[in-house]
Amino acid sequence: MLVTTGSFPFVRPRRLRQAEFLRSMVRETRLVPQQLIQPLFVAEGALKGPISSMPGVVRLDLEELAREAVELHKLGIGCIALFPVIPPSLKNDEGTEALNPNGLVPRAIAAVKKACPEIAVMVDIALDPYTTHGHDGLLDKNGLVDNDETVEILRRQALVYARAGADIVAPSDMMDGRVGQIRQVLERDGYKNVVILSYAAKYASAFYGPFRDAVGTASALKGDKRNYQMDPANTDEAMREVELDIAEGADIVMVKPGMPYLDIIRRVKDRFEVPVAAYQVSGEYAMLRAAIANGWLDEKKALMEALLCFRRAGADMILTYYAKQAAQWLKESAQ
């Protein structure tokens, strides 16, 4: 019940909003660079360069990648996520290049670790960058992704990346049982400290388009991924997926996409009380950039509000293509 004195309110919440020192003292949610993860695309030769559907994002070669890792570390960002862009000549239906110990990702891990040993390297575990059909796994005779055959390849891929020096392996494929198989092989071969960040609740979203342009899978993709990625209409299913991945040994669970799925982030955090990651995906980034370019949004205000909302919803860490810029703004505001 509102307590009043005469005709005026006795309780005035606005008192704590009238000055910055008050707003700062009662602020419930905070954002720091250490909570940001910068996704980076790595390529070689003619495949490097700008990505038209993601203004400001470029495919980096190994030397550029190493320099970028150093810069990000200086800004306080503790982790990068690598995504390879593979030439068509190295792709096949089975995605065998994913198992090459001298492939692009193992060499990228080595380049980063040589230049900046302190920064953590996270790598995707999935086959879509390596397959001619653009799917995250092997196809059966009916054109559907074969879960069990795919898991066998994924566990071997995770081991290749762990041997190359990856700190975090991130299965993004949405195959059933893959976290348990990856954890088992990592433990068996002496990589028990390699973290598994599972894309536990990954939805079959329309917001991935620019990413598929970036890694060169958009034109190759046959059909869609709705028979293994989650239905955007479902929330209880996400809880089951997360629960299974935690039971199988996931250390961190991810919700993807980000902003349209803040309710899922909140539910996961409240129920499981484990580290939760959110991914501000390529489509979210592209929308922000388009609105900013048209003068409809203030870049800094809109971006920092969006990232803060991920944190408020329960995300402990955020993958965002804006990580470097956000870290620069945070550093400036702290000075």
Question: What residues are designated binding site?
Answer: 241
Task: Give the position of tokens 């409809």.
Answer: 296
Which segments are annotated as binding site for Mg(2+)?
Answer: 241
Task: Give the position of tokens 């980076």.
Answer: 40
- Helix (H) / strand (E) element for 195: namely strand 195-202
Which amino acids are annotated catalytic?
202, 256
CB atoms under 10 Å from CB of 69, counted, come to 27
86/297 Cα distance (integer angstroms): 35
115/127 Cα distance (integer angstroms): 27
Question: CA gyration radius for the chain?
Answer: 21
Longest dimension (CA), the chain: 80
Strand 317-320, strand 276-280: pairing? parallel
* Total H helices, total E strands in the chain: 11, 12
Q: What is the DSSP string of 153-183?
A: HHHHHHHHHHHHT-SEEEE-S--TTHHHHHH
Q: What are phi and psi of 205, to 5 degrees?
A: -105, 155
